[in-house]
Structure 1
Amino acid sequence: MEELYTLDREVGRGSYGVVFEGHMAKTGHRVAIKRLPCSNPECIELYLQELWAMRATAKNHVNVIALHSCLLQTGSRSLKPLKPGKLPLRLVETVLKGSVLEPQRAREKSGVFSDTLRRTNSSSRLQDKTNTVLAGSRLKERNKSTGSDSLTPQRLLNRAVKRSAAQREEEQSGSLRCMALWLVMEYCDGGDLNHYLLSRPPDAERNHSVVLQLCSAVAFLHGLGITHRDLKPDNVLVCVTPKGPVIKVADFGLSKMSGAVGNGERCRQHFSSTCGSDFYMAPEVWGGLSYTAQADIFSLGVMFWAVLERITFVEEGTTQEQLGAYVCRGRWLMPLGEALWENADLQLCVPMKFKRAPPLPPPPGPAMCSLLLDMLALNPDARPSAEQLEARVLSALKQDSN
């Protein structure tokens, strides 16, 4: 049965793509739909990494964002579903060659398609498992009243079916233009972790739940051989439920996959690319050294410390308050990883006891403080593995509660 998706509104826009809130027309189930324009090889490489990682996780863990389907935009009104386990060969070729085939034509058509989507109202539709986008170019401007489209879905469908012989030949030969990838994912109504926690009064039980769920998610990813490499509150989404928040690790554009961990051994795949977000990067990444999945544990340590103590900062050039621990250097804030790389003898003060955002939760107890220091160790091998982390967090919380 064909799955029909409706684009409702834009909910986010970043350096690499646009995210829309939408829903499945037949069930009304809400979804998030991310459009990733295939305009240059560097971006395409990130998209393929994200797609590959999300396919590996699929819907197998409650704390990792689920991918419902992936569509390849091959024309201004054409979508082609991607089969599980398959990657678009044209995009792989683009990454390997370092140049986009027919880039000018692709950009022009991609721009037209994107403008069309922005002009449509909530009846704009993406149809999975066909080569059709049910979106009209003559729709009226979005307004609060209920109106009808000047081009009905049926007329649009008929128009799409009447493709030129040249286009049909192009599709049959497999030489389709790759203009954008569309990822259809589960929708998280609580926003990211920054927004969710900082818009509510502090609650120790909620904070503990967030920490434990993140432990479980990262242990699952590392068990699959996936190193996230950009763990931060912005990349953690929240689903609000009657039983409390359900945390979802998302945004796998910088992730890397290697062989899965076996026999409880730590993932030893080494990486060399310096990537991530400044305030959450491990010292070895700051120093330009090769690093392993243990860099994710350092990022988690920064997040856990900030969540448990409600430590926030405002990054230079922005106005948004963010969760994150740091070291003070006079008037300046220095990321923990950078500070530790510059001074291997630096002693971190956990709990921080200052520079925290009111109202304040109770500080973490001695056992949790000790665990945080282990997670933030300069030596990656001194940090607990993701497999060990959840048990250690539970043990620390139990000790501190007594």
Structure 2
Amino acid sequence: MLIFDKKEGMDICDGKKRRKVKGGMRGCRRSVAGKMRREACKVLRSLPVADNNHPEPMEEEEDEDFFSISFLRNDLLEPAVVVAPRYSLLREVGRGSYGVVYEAIARKTGARVAVKRLQCDAPENVELALAEFWALASLEDRHQNVVQLEECVLQRNGLAQKMSHGNKRSKQYLRLVETSLKGERILGYPAEPCYLWFVMEFCEGGDLNQYILSRRPDPRTNKSFMRQLTSAVAFLHKNNIVHRDLKPDNILISQKSGSPVLKVADFGLSKVCAGLSSGGKGGEDYPAAGGGGRGNNQNNVVNVNKFWLSSACGSDFYMAPEVWEGHYTAKADIFALGIIIWAMIERITFIDAESKRELLGTYIRQGTEIVPVGEALLENPKMVLHIPQKTRSSMSEGVKKLLQDMLAVNPQDRPDAFQLEVRMDQVTCAA
């Protein structure tokens, strides 16, 4: 099994070094995020609003698997009253470089939810947390293939405050934005940790890697997943959101309805393009303190593909050639989607040397090394991709042609998300 090791600047494959890409990875690569402290989740206590109907304080919870959420209003501190926790944390289901995800129960309804805790202890962590909040909070409509944010809570020193989109009256929120913009810690001291808690729908089916690789190949499931993924990306682009980190790890599976439903998740590297300059120069402007901008989604079919982004971020095997150069648009999401779909259909995998996990992902062989497709195309733009890769493949001619277009080295030759959605329906119905 081929092994890819990310520890040496992304350029060690099978133990041999390759040259580094010029400019390297800048800005929002996962590797720059600060390490999460691994302390157990403590009981959060908060100061409630004046009209809270809890005249008698509750006893302190000794267990470490609950958190309570009451909210401050306009940053005014009311007399302290302890309230019952709203969510019971059941178990840890995932851990990354800057966050922990728990399965939890909403005490009022009994519904299972996912709770992600992000520690805002460094500017780069704040930037990732705010990017996720701005993206999910900017969505006015729901989509069945995009993970749903129920609420986001800012917590510091045992005080919790509900985050709302564009809340310029919240001093804590504005301080987070300022931390991200200035690139320096201004929100308290290390002894006063600040957290963002994201409460989202729970996906019990794991991620796309786990789901696909634990089952026998099923063409019907593949077709369904292809349509669902293109629908999700079209929805995001319609709402001016470029995901920038599409990969099987960030695609979750819900099985509540009986049939598997994909949910695109993890928006820490996403960009809300509304209100940004659409000029040809790179340069990534930040949204104003109000967030990424809501509403006015007219004409976005064209406009989202005219916003130029410059931070070379994402995950190596799914990054488009232009992302490695640091000058790209939303078409980079189309390339990543092409890699995912190709790997899913043919079950092309590699072993990530750091996590030891088998992951879906397509690559190019160069001798004994494996190279991400986007990097290989950057080095050799005239290279022809052999799709399908396996001799005995059931891939139809329509899907083959569509994947070739999605993985075109020139982003202008790729379909946009809306053209892709139409074509995907056609080729999956015909196959």
8 Å CA contact 1:63–1:213 kept in 2: the answer is yes
CA contact (8 A) 2:176 2:187 kept: no
Please tell me whether residue 97 in structure 1 is matched to residue 178 in structure 2.
no
Residue 371 (structure 2) aligns with? 334
CA contact 1:50–1:251 (8 Å) conserved in 2: yes
What are the residue-to-residue correspondences of 1:8-27 with 2, within 5 Å? Answer: 8-27=90-109
Q: Secondary structure at the match of 1:71?
A: strand
**TM-score normalised over the length of structure 2:** 0.71
Matched pairs, number: 322
Secondary structure at the aligned position of 1:251 is classed as coil
Equivalent pair of 1:208/1:308 in contact (CA under 8 Å): no
SS of equivalent residue, structure 1 residue 20: strand
The CA distance in 2 between the partners of 1:397 and 1:181, in whole Å, is: 40
Aligned residue number for residue 135 of structure 1: none
Q: 1:300 aligns with which of 337, 344, 350?
A: 337
Separation in structure 2 between the aligned mates of residue 298 and residue 275 of structure 1, nearest angstrom? 14
Whether 2:167 is the aligned partner of 1:78: answer: no
Of the candidates 330, 335, 349, which is equivalent to residue 312 of structure 1?
349
Q: Aligned partners of 2:349, 2:110: CA distance in 1, in Å?
A: 37
- Does the Cα contact within 8 Å between 2:237 and 2:300 map onto a contact in 1? no
1:190 alignment counterpart: 205
Q: How does 1:136-215 map to 2 (within 5 A)?
A: 179-215=194-230
Matched residue type, 1:85: G
- Counterpart in 2 of 1:227? 242
User: 1:117-165: CA deviations, max 9, x gaps?
Assistant: xxxxxxxxxxxxxxxxxxxxxxxxxxxxxxxxxxxxxxxxxxxxxxxxx
| Residue type of the alignment partner of 1:108 | A
Task: Give the letter for the 2:175 counterpart.
Answer: R
The aligned residue for residue 270 of structure 1 is 308
- Pick closer, same or farther for the CA change 1:80–1:318 going to 2, 3 Å: closer
Moved more, 91-100 or 44-53: 91-100
| Alpha-carbon shift at residue 266 of structure 1 (Å) | 4.9
Q: Distance in 2 between matches of 1:337 and 1:7?
A: 40
Q: Distance in 1 between matches of 2:267 and 2:414?
A: 23
Counterpart of 2:318 (choices 280, 287, 290) is 280
1-side partners of 2:111 and 2:331: how far apart? 37
Amino acid at match of 1:257: V
Is the contact between residue 279 and residue 337 of structure 1 (CA under 8 Å) also seen in structure 2?
A: yes
In the alignment, what sits opposite 2:380? 343
Report the alpha carbon displacement of residue 94 of structure 1 after superposing the two structures with TM.
1.6
Distance 1:255 1:203 in 2: 31
Q: Distance in 2 between matches of 1:327 and 1:334?
A: 5
Paired with 1:49 and 1:261, the residues of 2 have a C-alpha distance of: 23
Mapped to 2, the partners of 1:32 and 1:378 lie a distance apart of: 38
1:216 matched to 2:299: no
**What secondary structure is seen at the aligned counterpart in 2 of 1:363?**
coil
**C-alpha distance in 2 between matches for 1:263 and 1:348:** 31
Q: 1:46, 1:254 within 8 Å by CA — same for their partners in 2?
A: yes
Identity rate, percent = 50
Alpha-carbon distance, 1:57 to partner: 2.4
Mind listing any 5+ residue stretches in structure 1 that lack a counterpart? 111-178, 355-359
Q: Which runs of 5+ in 2 are unaligned?
A: 1-51, 53-69, 71-84, 275-296
Cα separation, 2, equivalents of 1:58 and 1:182 = 20
- For 2:201 and 2:137, how far apart are their aligned partners in 1? 13
Are 1:396 and 2:406 counterparts? no
* TM-score normalised by L of structure 1: 0.76
**1:79 is aligned with what amino acid?**
A
Q: Is the 8 A contact 1:240 1:246 kept in 2?
A: yes
Correspondence 1:315-394 to 2 at 5 A: 315-353=352-390, 362-394=393-425
Structure-1 separation of matches of 2:212 and 2:300: 37
Shift of 1:392: 0.4
Q: Distance in 2 between matches of 1:10 and 1:315?
A: 22
Q: Contact 2:153 / 2:160 at 8 angstroms: preserved in 1?
A: yes
Mapped to 1, the partners of 2:115 and 2:94 lie a distance apart of: 10
> How many Å apart are 1:103 and its aligned residue?
4.6
SS of equivalent residue, structure 2 residue 255: strand
Structure 1 residue aligned with 2:273: 258
Is the contact made by 2:138 and 2:165 (CA closer than 8 Å) also made in structure 1? no
Moved more, 8-17 or 236-245: 236-245
The whole-number CA distance in structure 2 between the counterparts of 1:9 and 1:255 is 27
Task: For 1:62 and 1:23, locate their aligned partners in 2 and report how far apart those are by CA, in whole Å.
Answer: 21
Structure-2 change in CA distance of 1:263 and 1:86 (3 Å): closer
Q: Bigger CA drift: 390-399 or 336-345?
A: 390-399
Aligned partner of 2:137 among 55, 65, 70: 55
Structure 1 stretches of 4+ with a deviation exceeding 6 A read: none
